[in-house]
Amino acid sequence: MTGNINRRSLLKGAGAAAAGTATGTAGCLSLVGGGSGKSLTVSSKNFTEQFILSQISIQMLQSAGHEVESKTGLGGSPANFKAVKNGDSAMYWEYTGTAWSSILGKDKVISDPKKLYDKVDSAYNEQYSIDWLQKAPFNNTYVIMANPSWAKENGIKNLNDLAKHAKSGNTDFSVAMNPEIKRREDGWGGLPDTYGFAKEAKKVETVSMKLGLAYKAVKNGEADLGFGFNTNPKIKKFGLEVLEDPKNHFIIYNPAPNVNKDVLDDSMKKTLNEPTSKLTTEKMRSLNAKVSIDGKDPKQVAKTFLKDNGFL
């Protein structure tokens, strides 16, 4: 799945290139013929998870009687944010961690998901007239994955266990990651401090590779542990163990529809919020797998999800 791998890199690079495609639809928020339906444009970032989420919203809006123009794959966060802020797009799905750090430019780490969501929602409403609708339960953050045999042999289920393991003198394990994760304070760089094994971590072997390759490397035992993204379907495909993060070291990435307030009304809000609570981490991994591993169409995957849960 290319999407998760490229999510952060897209934030910096894709905005300028894609911004030009978000023009010429200034009338997209207007009512159609005096009826109850509206003419709306829905955009998205250009990776698998976003194609599925946007299709869920598109099909819910269409079912409620709205006309929807799809501009999925518009670009990264900057392009989509600009389009919604300017009214060129009615909505797209954004992640709380991305909005906090990349759009609002905040450095302070907020580990409580609700507090982070409330702060982002409030800032967007006040500064940009964009409302954050209900957030999904899944959190597409960084995770550390473990080879299941290695985790079972060493009795490790979470990062507290890993720290205890290392502080007991067991530092002969390896962790796959890319150079950026190795350096970042919210990645491996600051994790040993968070969990109190900084001294021992200096003896741990780090294996440098692209994050997209880490899933298979951990599965094959080329590394005992590896960094990945929480909703990447390869976690499920390879049966990897995800180590829980009880101290919330990793930034929270809950997604929610971001909607321009000029178009949003109570009916539309209710329509878009309906399916959100069903989007758990396991469900999102499964939906992503159907597209990126099984090769199915995101539109059809979204439709099946909505029908299976009684929304269509």
Separation between Cα atoms, residue 30 and residue 306, nearest integer Å: 27
- The helix (run of H) or strand (run of E) holding residue 131 is strand 130-132
- φ, ψ dihedrals at 235, nearest 5°: -60, -45
What is the rounded average pLDDT of the residues 66-75? 97
What local confidence, expressed as pLDDT, does residue 36 receive? 65
Q: Amino acid letter at 294?
A: D
Q: Give the pLDDT band (50/70/90) at residue 3.
A: very low
What is the rounded average pLDDT of the residues 218-224? 97
Q: Give the pLDDT band (50/70/90) at residue 184.
A: confident
Tokens of 14: 């894709």
Report whether pLDDT(22) > 50: no
Q: In sequence order, what DSSP letters do the residues of 67-117 get, joined into one string?
A: EEEEETT--SHHHHHHHHHHTSSSEEEEEHHHIIIIIS---S----HHHHH
- The helix (run of H) or strand (run of E) holding residue 57 is helix 48-63
What local confidence, expressed as pLDDT, does residue 210 receive? 92
Are the C-beta atoms of 28 and 89 separated by less than 8 Å?
A: yes
What local confidence, expressed as pLDDT, does residue 108 receive? 87
Q: Give the pLDDT band (50/70/90) at residue 151.
A: very high
pLDDT digits (tens, 9 = 90+) for 266-283: 999 999 999 999 999 999
SS3 assignment, position 125: helix
Separation between Cα atoms, residue 221 and residue 107, nearest integer Å: 36
Report whether pLDDT(213) > 50: yes
Q: Give the pLDDT band (50/70/90) at residue 109.
A: confident
pTM for the full predicted model: 0.82
Report whether pLDDT(216) > 70: yes
265 CB neighbour count, 10 Å cutoff = 11
Separation between Cα atoms, residue 12 and residue 19, nearest integer Å: 13
What is the rounded average pLDDT of the residues 135-139? 97
Mean pLDDT of the chain: 89
